[in-house]
Structure 1
Amino acid sequence: MAFTGVAEKNIVFTDGDLIKYNLQPSQFLSGFLMELLEREDSARSVVYAFPHLTIQEFVAALAQFLTVDRGDITTLLIEAHGNSGGRFEVFLSFVAGLSSPRTAWILEEFLGKFPHQTICRVIDWVKGEVKRRARNTKSEADKRSFLNTMHYLFESQNPALAQQTLGSVETLSFSGLGLTPIDCAVLSHAIRLCDTIKHLNLGSCRIQCEGLQRLGPVLHKCQDLGLEYVGLTDSGAEDLASALSTKPSLTELYLSGNKLGDSGVKLVSAALRNPDCKIQTLELGSVGLTDSGAEDLASALSTNPSLTELNLTDNSLTDRCVPALRRLILTLPSLMWIMLGRNKFGPTGKKELRSLQEPRPGLTVIV
């Protein structure tokens, strides 16, 4: 009855529904259903509803494990996941969670043993869906669908399953997709379990500080971090800096479009001072950087011989920080690109910066 309600978007049930599913009003049933008095014209009748839709969805998922001769549950899962309205997302998360040995062990004390065949089919379905969705993340809809399957992986709490499904994935890209803190927790879980994931692109995901806190403990495992336009402020930068300070092998960091300000950039700069830092590409365009922050950043980066690209476009830099930028450029022979357009340099400052290209044929300075 609960599953039919989920499938048909029905949250209110009648005596006729109870009879149809061989349910009798009892003290046990009252623990799951509330009795509601419904008035229609002059007549009154009692109807039933679960205390919350989430409880209905959990009972619906539980039924798939407890129903005798379940049949082909794989077909049901495929059809439910293919529903474009997202009607079955929570239901499917519960199904995946019930395949967890720990969850089954807790519930089997009260409900009896879960059929091993059903558990295996659910695990196989999760494995197949994650692998299939991971291969196609071009559109926003594709990314959301892949992320949903990662939620199922998270609910299953099965480290071996995560490694089998994501063990060959090197890049996770959800750019442009709004991510909730729970989404970030799911990504953190996947990255923690899978050492192959090296490149993480979360540009324009609007994750903000709480989401970053969920991701912080695993960011040190990635070589390439794309965090442009995610909504970071200086407080979020503190969590990011803490994560980066333990990751000397990070090579690419994209933070453009965040409201870091000088204080946030200073925190990131502190992490970049790590003597083992191997950063090669640093994107800090449109972060609210001023001369003071730029001078601190230049000081931090001057100790990093690996830096090849630096983007400080669209900030509030003036001629005051030109000496610091010149020292940085002259100190780093590996630097090939420095982008400084849409700042507040005067003609003299621009001329001084461009002049550095003459003794360095391979250097490009864009002001």
Structure 2
Amino acid sequence: MHYLFESQNPALAQQTLGSVKTLSFCGLGLTPIDSVVLSHAIRLCDTIKRLDLWDCHIQCEGLQRLGPVLHKCQDLGLGYNDLGDSGVKLVSAALRNPDCKIQTLWLQRVGLTDSGAEDLASALSTNTSLTGLYLTHNSLTDRSVPALRDLILTLPRLKWIMLEVNKFGPTGKKELRSLQERRPGLTVDV
């Protein structure tokens, strides 16, 4: 990909990457420069079925470089990266894109807190593509339950949301579980 980027030959890059369905960099440390190159490659593709950036130490700077193309991915794996709320805010911008194709979003162990969850829920209120959301192993508390409740009740295509290993109290867990009754076919794991 670095070679294709350096060549600055869009026809060659598109011919080479045109049929790519999955890009997996799981466990590889990606620098901000790598993110620029990856962003350039994704820009040339119509849709990426799966972009796997699990445990790539991508952080906000790299994610910022990828931000303009994340909406082109159907299955976006960002788990086990230290994104924090500011990184999730960059993902939220992709979810707000009217051309967003993200169907499954993996945000396990990314340092998400209640305020980041509220921004994510706000971004998803206008999203029409998302069907699955993984938010396990974060720092969500009962304070984020109202935003998650609104998200679950208003996102029509959502089929499952995984919220295990967060910091919900018994009341928050009970309220989140009860939402399954109001939305048949929805799975809420707390």
TM-score by length of 2: 0.88
| Residue 99 (structure 2) pairs with residue 276 (structure 1) | yes
SS at match of 1:277: coil
Identity %: 59
| Offset from partner CA, 1:157-176 (integer Å, 9 cap, x none) | xxxxxxxxxxxxxxxxxxxx
| 1:310-321 aligned within 5 A | 310-321=133-144
CA pair 187-282 structure 1, distance change in 2 beyond 3 A: farther
RMSD of Structure 2 on Structure 1 (CA): 1.8
Cα distance in structure 2, aligned partners of 1:194 and 1:232: 22
CA pair 226-234 structure 1, distance change in 2 beyond 3 A: same
Q: Is the 8 A contact 2:136 2:165 kept in 1?
A: yes
| Residue 21 (structure 2) pairs with residue 195 (structure 1) | no
Cα distance in structure 1, aligned partners of 2:187 and 2:134: 12
2:132 partner amino acid: E
What's the offset of the Cα at 1:360?
2.1
1:343 partner amino acid: N
Aligned to 2:38: 215
Cα distance in structure 1, aligned partners of 2:17 and 2:139: 40
What's the offset of the Cα at 1:269?
0.7
| Offset from partner CA, 1:64-119 (integer Å, 9 cap, x none) | xxxxxxxxxxxxxxxxxxxxxxxxxxxxxxxxxxxxxxxxxxxxxxxxxxxxxxxx
1:230 partner amino acid: C
**Which of 182, 186, 189 is residue 363 of structure 1 equivalent to?**
186
Aligned to 1:167: none
What's the offset of the Cα at 1:187?
7.3
Q: Is the 8 A contact 2:53 2:79 kept in 1?
A: yes
| Structure 1 unmatched runs, 5+ | 1-183
CA pair 316-191 structure 1, distance change in 2 beyond 3 A: farther
Cα distance in structure 2, aligned partners of 1:329 and 1:256: 21
What's the offset of the Cα at 1:275?
1.3
Cα distance in structure 1, aligned partners of 2:93 and 2:17: 28
Cα distance in structure 2, aligned partners of 1:185 and 1:228: 20
What's the offset of the Cα at 1:303?
1.2
Cα distance in structure 1, aligned partners of 2:143 and 2:31: 32
Q: Is the 8 A contact 1:240 1:268 kept in 2?
A: no
| Offset from partner CA, 1:345-364 (integer Å, 9 cap, x none) | 01111011000111223111
Aligned to 2:119: 296
Aligned to 2:54: 228
| 1:126-165 aligned within 5 A | none
Q: Is the 8 A contact 2:141 2:169 kept in 1?
A: yes
**Which of 56, 65, 70 is residue 244 of structure 1 equivalent to?**
70
**Higher relative contact order structure (alpha carbons within 8 Å, sequence separation ≥ 6):** 2
SS at match of 1:351: helix
SS at match of 2:164: coil
Q: Is the 8 A contact 1:260 1:287 kept in 2?
A: yes
**Which of 72, 81, 102 is residue 258 of structure 1 equivalent to?**
81
Matched length: 181
Cα distance in structure 2, aligned partners of 1:332 and 1:239: 28
- Structure with greater Cα Rg: 1
Q: Is the 8 A contact 2:163 2:188 kept in 1?
A: yes
Cα distance in structure 2, aligned partners of 1:203 and 1:191: 23
Instruction: List 4+ stretches of structure 1 deviating above 3 A.
Output: 186-192
| Offset from partner CA, 1:272-322 (integer Å, 9 cap, x none) | 201121211000000011111111011111211221110001011111111
